[in-house]
Amino acid sequence: MAPAKAYPVGVWTQETITFTLTERTTGVISLGYQGQNVGSANAQHLFFDSVGIEEVSEADMARAELSAAVAGITLDPSAAGTALFQVPEEAYNTYAEAVNKASGVASTDDLTKEDYEAALAELNAAVEAYKAAGVNLPEADATYTFQQKASGLFLSFDVENAGVVLGETPAELSFVAGENGGWYLTNGTEYVGFVGSNNWTMSTAAEYKYEWTVAYAGDGFYKIFKPSNANHNVGTNDTELSAGAPCYADKNNGDNILLTITKVAAPEPEPIPYTWTYD
């Protein structure tokens, strides 16, 4: 099967399918495609030209595998930093250095199979180390506020109606680690919850507490979304940006899903009175 799932219209595209034969054999090359069901509309057409078979050396095969691994990695410097849910800079820099090194090897001609395989092994090890490095986590004993970019208002709790809404007074929430790698957001008794009977209704009731994914979105902003669907974010409708506006769990773009997360400063300790006695 060809790796591409779609082709641009009206242009020739070169496609390479790699396969291995373990012994001399005969066979038939069959070309075809599986198109979408377009009903009564015109069916798609795919034309083939200049089909050939070329023997590839083991070194070239190893190089192609390394090149594919490098091509599948996108370096994002904004993912690194000291903010919550960013990757520590040292871990990112080590990872980026390994990716760039592997890219250099993949771009070098006339190396041996072993050279390319060793570079791929180093790259895979770097990928695993990067995953294991994790991100900067919230403090277990701290509370945080969540401010919406679009309105400047905060995530707040409508206690009377058990709703998650925008408000001028923020809910001060703690991050509580969930069982599946996500986070519960709570003030101790109420939660940023999800009812679950549809894709959007939220609740503060403890019975509807929900384990969210919280991710850094760049430029100092964050998203809170369902682990099963990154397009279902906590946010508001575009036209509902005033205090009391309800939050939903199915928003997928715009400034109404972007939040700043700010740690609440610990209260200053009460001054200790002293009594001075002079003789």
Q: What is the DSSP letter of 104?
A: H
Mean pLDDT, range 31-36, rounded to an integer: 72
- Output the average pLDDT for the chain: 90
Under 8 Å between Cβ of 141 and 105: no
Tokens 């820099």 — which residue? 93
The pLDDT of residue 20 is: 76
Strands 213-218 and 202-203: unpaired
* Predicted pLDDT at 279: 63
176 strand-pairing partners: 184
More confident residue, 47 or 180: 180
Rounded percentage of the chain residues whose pLDDT exceeds 70: 93
Report pLDDT for 265.
84
Distance separating alpha carbons of residues 42 and 153, to the nearest angstrom? 51
pLDDT tens-digit readout, 186-235: 999 999 999 988 889 999 999 999 999 999 999 999 999 999 999 999 99
Among 235, 226, 146, CA closest to 194: 226
pLDDT tens by residue, 121-178? 999 999 999 999 999 999 999 999 999 999 999 999 998 888 999 999 999 999 999 9
Q: Which residue carries 């399918």 as its tokens?
A: 17
- Taking the model in full, what pTM does it have? 0.71
Give whole-number Cα distances, 98 to 76, 95, 150, 154, 194, in Å. Answer: 14, 5, 39, 41, 41
What is each CA distance from 268 to 23, 173, 199, in whole angstroms? 78, 19, 42
Residue closest to 88 by CA, chosen among 135, 150, 153: 135
**68: part of which helix (H) or strand (E)?**
helix 58-71
- Dihedral (Cα; 204, 208, 212, 217), 10-degree rounding: -40
Tell me the average pLDDT across 10-32.
Answer: 79
Residue 41 has pLDDT above 70, yes or no: no
Q: Residue 45 pLDDT > 80, yes or no?
A: no
Of residues 23 and 179, the one with the higher pLDDT is: 179
Whether residue 68 is predicted with pLDDT greater than 80 in this model: the reply is: yes
**pLDDT at residue 16, as a whole number:** 76
Report, as an integer, the average pLDDT of 72-92.
94
